[in-house]
Structure 1
Amino acid sequence: MPYVYIIECRDGTLYTGYAVDIVKRLDEHNKGEGAKYTRGRRPVRLRYIETCPDKSTAMRREYAIKRLSRRGKQALIQSVSLLNRVLDINKFG
């Protein structure tokens, strides 16, 4: 299953990509074997992930996210963060 992801680089910049094996892809980024952009900005941290039904959809979604401003990407990351907190709270309530 393809994933679209946003990682935060050591210098605070955000990188968007897609992958089938997200764990392997993050490992590649952190070993300097991933995208040229991230090679000099290691380590990277996963900040956002979403699943897509197929590669074509993932590539379109990646393109849409890449077109967002930094503020737009941060809002996307924040929305997932807030949702996770709500889900964690509901787990105990």
Structure 2
Amino acid sequence: MPYVYLLRCSDDSLYVGSTRNLEQRLGEHGSGAVAGYTATRLPVELVWALETERMDDAAELERQVKGWRRAKRVALIEGRLADLPALSRSDARRSC
């Protein structure tokens, strides 16, 4: 089944990805086999994952979460789903 996931990297940054095989992908990230962002920030830790019905749903959610500020990603990781709307960029602009 497809997944969207968040990894916490060794520098405390958050990486967002999607995959058809979460266990395999985590192994690839952990070993440094995935070239790019996480390979230079090992070790990484899975901090959140969501299984989706279809891969295109996972890819769309990945794209959305990549656009979120850190505070909103942290709220997602911590399960503070009620806080997500208030942490949206559009809501933050309206309150200024």
TM-score norm. by structure 2 comes to 0.80
Q: 1:34 Cα shift?
A: 1.6
Give unmatched runs, 5+ long, in structure 1: 81-93
Give unmatched runs, 5+ long, in structure 2: 81-96
Q: 1:35 Cα shift?
A: 4.4
Matched residues in 1 for 2:26 and 2:43: separation?
Answer: 10
Q: Is the partner of 1:36 in helix, strand or coil?
A: coil
Query: CA 1:35/1:66 → structure 2, altered by over 3 Å: closer, same or farther?
Result: farther
Matched residues in 2 for 1:34 and 1:79: separation?
Answer: 28
Q: Which amino acid aligns with 1:69?
A: R
Matched residues in 1 for 2:56 and 2:2: separation?
Answer: 9
Percent identity over the alignment is 36
What residue in structure 2 maps to residue 59 of structure 1?
Answer: 59
Is it true that 1:15 corresponds to 2:25 in the alignment?
no
Q: Which amino acid aligns with 1:27?
A: G
Q: Is the partner of 2:49 in helix, strand or coil?
A: strand
Matched residues in 2 for 1:44 and 1:10: separation?
Answer: 6
Pick the structure with more helix per residue: 1
Offset from partner CA, 1:25-75 (integer Å, 9 cap, x none): 011011111241000100100000001110111100000111110000000
Q: Which amino acid aligns with 1:73?
A: R
Residue correspondences, number: 80
What residue in structure 2 maps to residue 31 of structure 1?
Answer: 31
TM-score norm. by structure 1 comes to 0.82
RMSD: 1.1
Q: Which amino acid aligns with 1:59?
A: A
What residue in structure 2 maps to residue 76 of structure 1?
Answer: 76
